[in-house]
Amino acid sequence: MSTAQTLPGAPGPVQLNIKPLTIAALIGLAGLFYIAETVSGRQAALWVVGILLGVTLYHSAFGFTSAWRVFVSDRQGAGLRAQMLMLAVGVLLFFPFLAQGTLAGQAVNGFVSPPGVSVVLGAFMFGIGMQMGGGCASGTLFAVGGGSTRMIVTLVFFIVGSVIGAWAFPWWSNLPALAPTSLVKSWGLWPALIINLAIFGFIAWVTVVLEKRRHGRLISHAASTGTANSFLRGPWPLVWGAIVLVILNFATLALAGRPWGITSAFALWGAKTLAFFDLAQPDQWAFWAKSPGPLTAPITQDITSVMDIGLVLGAMGAAAAAGKFAPIWRLPLRSLLAAVVGGLLLGIGSRMAFGCNIGAYFSGILSGSLHAWLWLPAAFAGSALGVGLRPLFGLAVEKTPRLTAC
């Protein structure tokens, strides 16, 4: 599976995983030309953006799940501070264009959804699922691409849960909720920017205070030193990942007219599977009634699906180029059970909350949507509960031992 290759400027030989690297490269190129020919050049560009997202997520290990877990269990806040930096840069980029409604000559809109009970319940479920399943939406995809066999189980049941959430739409969509609210349009550009930046700064400050109180000093850093060699092979500092993710999300806004999302594709894949095997008629469900087109159109015409598949390929190529693509097929039963339960909670929760850590949290906040600010505390609370449940399933919870005189 691997062979030693010396990269220019590298300190030593790199163990490239040739087979998965070749597969990822060939599928990536074939997909690029096929989508450009059958759909559009813009859709092909989004395929490339998806691939670059996979590379970025893998090399920076930019996982929302692990960042929240180590803060809950050990007060290490580097991951959260990197997220606040990402959001701060993001609103500076997004808000002006969302306020004027156009970017690069086309209309742009954010993900603005109704803030209500379904968001709170769904985000709380999603938070538990993050810790049980071992990853969020983006984390699940880049881990699958990186060769994690356990995360394949999480992804399968993530899709199943998404289908259940779509089927249950008539129930949760009627729970109490306010009208969709854009803070950019309700408050104006500058008040929305200033208040959002102040909140990000406050959250980052709280992580510093709590980390120093727990450890006596900062022991986690988002801006660890990176080199040209680490840019090619990883790992990247979290700051690099934060900045690149914002840029790629902004590229998505420019190309697609809306921000980056992930989980709507899971509901679509599950629905198409049910229809193909004649197990159900999802086109009759209320969830698809307003927009039945994706059910009959090819997957290549769905922006989210194209970017999700590209993300998996990008992570696969990054893992193989770093010599880290090594699937493990023997997994403990309790760990698999947690992946099943976690995947279901992730899928149902993401539908009820109008998105995941990307569509509802990252892109939701960059869209100026009020529902994103309900999603964040509810998902974090669910994640804290999920951290406490992990040991019951034999899953590790990172914690730095306290220094003693012994």
Q: What are the backbone angles phi and psi of residue 143, rounded to the nearest 5°?
A: -70, -40
Tally helices (H) and strands (E) across the chain: 19, 4
What backbone phi and psi angles, to 5 degrees, belong to 324?
A: -115, 10
3-class DSSP assignment, residue 349: helix
Cβ-based burial of 231 (10 A; exposed 0-12, middle 13-18, buried ≥19)? exposed
152, two tokens: 């394949």
Residue 113 · residue 360 · CB < 8 Å: yes
- Closest Cα to residue 79, out of 238, 312, 290, 306? 238
Mark the ranges of the chain whose per-residue pLDDT is less than 50: 1-12, 403-406
pLDDT at 325: 80
Q: What is the pLDDT of residue 228?
A: 53
Helix or strand or coil: residue 308? Answer: helix
pLDDT value, residue 167: 97
Q: How many CB atoms lie within 10 A of CB 139?
A: 26
Residue 368 sits at the vertex; the CA angle it makes with 267 and 126, to the nearest 5 degrees, is 35
Q: Are 98 and 108 in contact (CB under 8 A)?
A: yes
Residues in the chain: 406
Residue 106, H or E segment: strand 106-107
HSE of 211, CA atoms in CB hemisphere, 13 A: 19
Using CA atoms of 37, 317, 149, 69 in order, give the dihedral in degrees to the nearest 10: -110
Predicted pLDDT of residue 232 = 65
- What pLDDT is attached to residue 223? 72
**CA gap 334, 344 in Å, rounded:** 16
Q: Using an 8 Å Cβ cutoff, are 369 and 112 in contact? A: yes
SS3 110: coil
Name the residue ranges covered by the structural domains of the chain.
15-221+233-393
pLDDT, residue 221, reads 84
3-state DSSP assignment of residue 15: strand
Q: pTM of the full predicted structure?
A: 0.92
Do the Cβ atoms of 332 and 392 come closer than 8 Å?
Answer: no
The answer to whether 128 and 387 have CB atoms below 8 angstroms apart is no
Q: From residue 79, give the alpha-carbon distance in Å to each of 129, 231, 241, 394.
A: 19, 19, 11, 24
pLDDT at residue 233, rounded to an integer: 67
